[in-house]
Amino acid sequence: MIKIFKSRLAVKIWMNLVLPVLLILLLVGIVINIFYSWYILSNSIYRAGEETEYVATSMSDSYTDLITYFVRKTTSADFKEGFKQIIEAEPNKYTEINNSLQNIFTEYAQINKLLASSLLVTAPASGQPGMIFHSYQFRLKEEITTYDLGYSLEEVSGLTVLPYSESPFINQSDVIPVIIPLKYVSSTSMVLIAEEVEEAHGILYLLLSAEDVQNYLKLYCNDDSQGMLYLTDRAGRNMSMSLSDQEENLPENLTDTLRNAIAEGVTQTMYENDYVFLGYARRLDLYLVNYIPKTFFNSNSDNSINTLILLACVIVALISYLSLMINYYVTKPLNLLMQSLYKIETQTYTGKALVSTDDEIGQLNDAIDDMYNTIRQQILTIKREEKEKYDTQMQLLSEQMNPHFLYNALEFINMEVYNRHIENATGMITSLGDYLRISLAYGENELMFSQEIDQVMAYVRIMNYRFHNSIQVFVQIPEELKKQKILKCILQPLVENSLKHGFRIRSNMGFPVSPMIEISILWAGEQLVLTVMDNGAGIDTEKAYQIMYHQQADDQSAKHFGLNNIYQRLKSYYKEVTITFSSIPYFDNKVTITLPANYFKESDETLSS
């Protein structure tokens, strides 16, 4: 009859599957939010790069307009004539010439809204310092009296932009100087831009307002793409940002990062976790830097992060609840079942686990207990049957040995009686009786080594009656081994084989040489070694192994039944047994048996106790 179980566990699991479904929905929401955050970041980075390039282009165009106007102005006849008068003027003509230049300075101021002021400085000549011409709207600082106005002109080559610096005028904000070295070519009456300052007859300083430049950069950049904007040269130096702003808003080691990026020709790089965008202002040969801290982009995705945090909290709560439910309904009972299985494995099982549920897990608990009891009974039955089978097998092998020897012994006694050697026959019968008494051993499977040796000596006495005491036997065994037990009828068949096959017994002809047999039983580490050695004609080792393993045809193996019998009985009893053969004819022929020593040490301890 099939019992129908109520699927209570299935119902519990089904009910709790609602939570994973909700969890999946939340995970989908998280993925969407993550994608949205990634899209915002990617889009912001893309727009920041585009805006940086756009502002750099705009700045370059504005500078181009300024230079275009300057070139147009310097190529005019008025400027050529005025520049010639300036470089040829005497110091006492300074005021007159400076007055004539006021219109030019006014026009320069109108070139571009970024241009704060301008100056024209003549080169020193004939030991006289250069003269500084400027608009009367501004007043020079008292310390400004030199040709270079305090700026470093070492890097000037042609039209050059210098880094952010102080203005030479009083009450004027900091400026970005644009240096234009000019030279007058008298042969053509033209004013040209000199490649080197040393070639110039005068230098025109166009002073861009640093504050207006920074505001200009911010004006053309969207708020969501704007970081810290400033101009830099190829060496990564700050060209437009004030030192205070630079120290406050930019990292100290940013210059190296910029120089490497410019050298590699990249327009976007990273400084630690912050983003750096580069736009090339071609006309100025400068780069616009847009340094945007990581936090700026993070602020764009604050809402997404808040949503993710909320979702994470909900997921943690759901997972916690799901874990509690699974632990209560599934994990805890299964853990009890695993403990039961472990006890079964370690043979410490005493009864089924205390599972409080009556669902499938409870039913499984009952099934495990029933299965354990069934298997235990089956194991006991198998062990009992195996023991009976083993005892029967050992008995059969032992019984096979005795008839084999008895057949040979009785044949010898019959021959003595037939030849009317009554005394020999009587002695042989007495020795045979001693042999059989030891062999029977009241049904025991084991004999002490001393009894095994006595059995061998009884057999040899029978043979010596037959062959006029020509057989010599020597025994080597430590005293402590004599009382230890071994499977019976092991040594006698080996001695019999030595006499029968090693010395070629031929009816009444005796032995071709005087038989000498040596038996030794010794310890060898964790093994016990039994050796039977004789001085016979030798052993055909290959044939001996075939006989021992029963690999010959039946008619051949039957003639040497004793060797295979010994091997089979030792293998069944001691599990691990090795029998080897070695042969030097008429000198040293050995049969060596190696057995595990622990079988005999245990018996030795039992005897001692």
- Spatial CA neighbour of 345 closest among 318, 364, 372, 366: 372
Could you tell me if residue 440 is inside a domain? yes
Stronger pLDDT, 1 or 338, i.e. the higher one: 338
Q: Span 131-147, mean pLDDT?
A: 84
How many other CB atoms are there within 10 angstroms of residue 595's CB atom? 22
pLDDT of residue 477: 93
Please give the helix or strand (H or E) that residue 46 lies within, else none. Answer: helix 18-74
pLDDT of residue 422: 84
Could you tell me if residue 532 is inside a domain? yes
Identify the domain containing residue 172 by its residue range.
75-213
pLDDT of residue 450: 92
* Contact in structure between 166 and 174 (CB atoms under 8 Å): yes
Determine the residue type at 483. K
pLDDT of residue 1: 36
Reduced to 3 states (helix: H, G, I; strand: E, B; else coil), residue 417 is: helix
Query: Cα 424 from chain centroid?
Result: 85
pLDDT tier for residue 557 given thresholds of 50, 70 and 90: very low
- Spatial CA neighbour of 344 closest among 386, 366, 375: 375
Reduced to 3 states (helix: H, G, I; strand: E, B; else coil), residue 595 is: strand
Could you tell me if residue 67 is inside a domain? no
* Contact in structure between 203 and 196 (CB atoms under 8 Å): no
**Could you tell me which residues come within 8 angstroms of residue 7 by beta carbon, excluding any fewer than 6 positions away?**
359, 360
At residue 194, does pLDDT exceed 80? Answer: yes
Structural domains of the chain, count: 2
Could you tell me if residue 245 is inside a domain? no
pLDDT of residue 80: 81
**Which DSSP state fits 195?**
S
* Contact in structure between 424 and 469 (CB atoms under 8 Å): no
Of the listed ranges 295-304, 312-321, 373-382, the least confidently predicted one is: 295-304
At residue 26, does pLDDT exceed 60? Answer: yes
* Contact in structure between 65 and 110 (CB atoms under 8 Å): no
Residue 555, CA distances (Å) to 62, 358, 515, 550, 561 in order: 120, 68, 28, 11, 10
pLDDT tier for residue 4 given thresholds of 50, 70 and 90: very low
How many other CB atoms are there within 10 angstroms of residue 498's CB atom? 23
pLDDT tier for residue 468 given thresholds of 50, 70 and 90: confident
Of the listed ranges 25-29, 84-88, 144-148, the least confidently predicted one is: 25-29
Written as six digits, the tokens of 578 are: 């090795």
Q: Span 525-541, mean pLDDT?
A: 92
% of the chain surpassing 90 pLDDT: 10
pLDDT tier for residue 222 given thresholds of 50, 70 and 90: low
Sign of CA dihedral 292, 296, 301, 307: positive
**Which DSSP state fits 229?**
E
- Spatial CA neighbour of 79 closest among 161, 182, 159: 182
Could you tell me if residue 70 is inside a domain? no
Determine the Cα–Cα distance for residues 263 and 270; give it in Å rounded to an integer.
15
Determine the Cα–Cα distance for residues 570 and 25; give it in Å rounded to an integer.
72
At residue 576, does pLDDT exceed 50? Answer: yes
Q: Where are the alpha helices (DSSP H) in 75-205?
A: 77-88, 94-100, 102-109
Determine the Cα–Cα distance for residues 535 and 7; give it in Å rounded to an integer.
82
pLDDT of residue 335: 72
Determine the residue type at 233. D
Q: Which domain-ending residue is among 156, 189, 213? A: 213
Note the pLDDT tens digit of each residue in 581-594.
999 988 899 999 99
pLDDT of residue 84: 82
Determine the residue type at 132. I
Of the listed ranges 120-124, 138-142, 403-407, the least confidently predicted one is: 403-407
pLDDT of residue 306: 64
Q: Could you tell me whether strands 516-524 and 472-476 are parallel, antiparallel, or unpaired per DSSP bridges?
A: parallel
Written as six digits, the tokens of 6 are: 């109520």
* Contact in structure between 278 and 287 (CB atoms under 8 Å): yes
Residue 480, CA distances (Å) to 215, 448, 476, 484 in order: 111, 11, 12, 8
Q: Span 503-514, mean pLDDT?
A: 63
Determine the Cα–Cα distance for residues 176 and 31; give it in Å rounded to an integer.
50
pLDDT tier for residue 606 given thresholds of 50, 70 and 90: very low
pLDDT tier for residue 6 given thresholds of 50, 70 and 90: very low
Question: For residue 437, what is the domain's CATH number?
Answer: 3.30.565.10
Could you tell me if residue 240 is inside a domain? no
Written as six digits, the tokens of 510 are: 């005796």
Q: Which domain-ending residue is among 184, 213, 242? A: 213
- Spatial CA neighbour of 162 closest among 109, 239, 108: 239
Q: Which domain-ending residue is among 213, 243, 260? A: 213
Sign of CA dihedral 191, 192, 197, 199: negative
Determine the Cα–Cα distance for residues 57 and 288; give it in Å rounded to an integer.
9
**Could you tell me which residues come within 8 angstroms of residue 51 by beta carbon, excluding any fewer than 6 positions away?**
221, 222, 225, 226, 290
Question: For residue 111, what is the domain's CATH number?
Answer: 3.30.450
Determine the Cα–Cα distance for residues 93 and 86; give it in Å rounded to an integer.
9
% of the chain surpassing 70 pLDDT: 78
* Contact in structure between 323 and 354 (CB atoms under 8 Å): no
Could you tell me if residue 517 is inside a domain? yes
Q: Span 266-291, mean pLDDT?
A: 87
At residue 336, does pLDDT exceed 90? Answer: no
* Contact in structure between 492 and 455 (CB atoms under 8 Å): yes
Of the listed ranges 32-36, 165-169, 177-181, the least confidently predicted one is: 32-36
How many other CB atoms are there within 10 angstroms of residue 135's CB atom? 18
- Spatial CA neighbour of 429 closest among 454, 477, 461: 461
Note the pLDDT tens digit of each residue in 53-98.
888 888 888 888 888 887 777 777 777 887 888 887 777 888 888 8
At residue 160, does pLDDT exceed 80? Answer: yes
Could you tell me if residue 324 is inside a domain? no
**Could you tell me which residues come within 8 angstroms of residue 474 by beta carbon, excluding any fewer than 6 positions away?**
516, 517, 518, 519
Q: Look-up: residue for tokens 């736009």? A: 279
Determine the Cα–Cα distance for residues 418 and 421; give it in Å rounded to an integer.
8
* Contact in structure between 184 and 85 (CB atoms under 8 Å): no
Stronger pLDDT, 523 or 563, i.e. the higher one: 523
Q: Span 399-411, mean pLDDT?
A: 66
Distance between start and end Cα atoms, the chain: 59
Determine the residue type at 565. N
Written as six digits, the tokens of 81 are: 């004539």
* Contact in structure between 231 and 284 (CB atoms under 8 Å): yes
Burial zone of 555 (CB within 10 Å; 0-12 exposed, 13-18 middle, 19+ buried)? exposed
pLDDT of residue 342: 74
Written as six digits, the tokens of 162 are: 């210098």
Average pLDDT, the chain: 79
